[in-house]
Amino acid sequence: MPFIKVNTNAEITSDKAEKIKSALGLAITAIPGKSEGWLMTEIEGGKSLYFKGTDDPAAMVEVSIYGKASENALGVLTSNITGIMLDELGISTDRVYVSYMFTDHWGWNGSNF
């Protein structure tokens, strides 16, 4: 039950959003037990986003996960996410932040896991 939210000042076409969504679906498998089958994504471009005092292309990616993940898995996922931002949007990997939030409670279909 992961959720990945991408906020960026880069413009994102619907075709680009689809490519990012698919790439994130593959990337999330870095965490054992997680797959695109349960992944929800939100992708927003054209935001007023400043990093290091400039509005050069940048992104903030928030990852919410039901349960826990190892440091190694998170390291691989961060590398994958920053690579996706570079490949799909041309955003340098040093202008992407990735944050992680974990929860033991996740609701779906009228109940909780």
Element housing 17 (H / E): helix 14-27
Cβ neighbours of residue 3 closer than 8 Å, sequence gap 6 or more = 39, 40, 41, 42, 63, 64
State how beta strands 59-66 and 3-8 pair.
Answer: antiparallel
State how beta strands 107-108 and 111-112 pair.
Answer: antiparallel
57: confidence class by pLDDT, cuts 50, 70, 90: very high
The model's pLDDT over 61-92, given as tens digits with 9 standing for 90+, comes to: 999 999 999 999 999 999 999 999 999 999 99
Look at residue 113 in the predicted model and tell me its pLDDT. 86
% of residues, the chain, pLDDT over 90: 98
Tell me the C-alpha distance between 26 and 76, whole Å.
12
Tell me the C-alpha distance between 102 and 69, whole Å.
9
The percent of the chain in helix, strand and coil, each rounded to the nearest 5, is 35, 30, 35
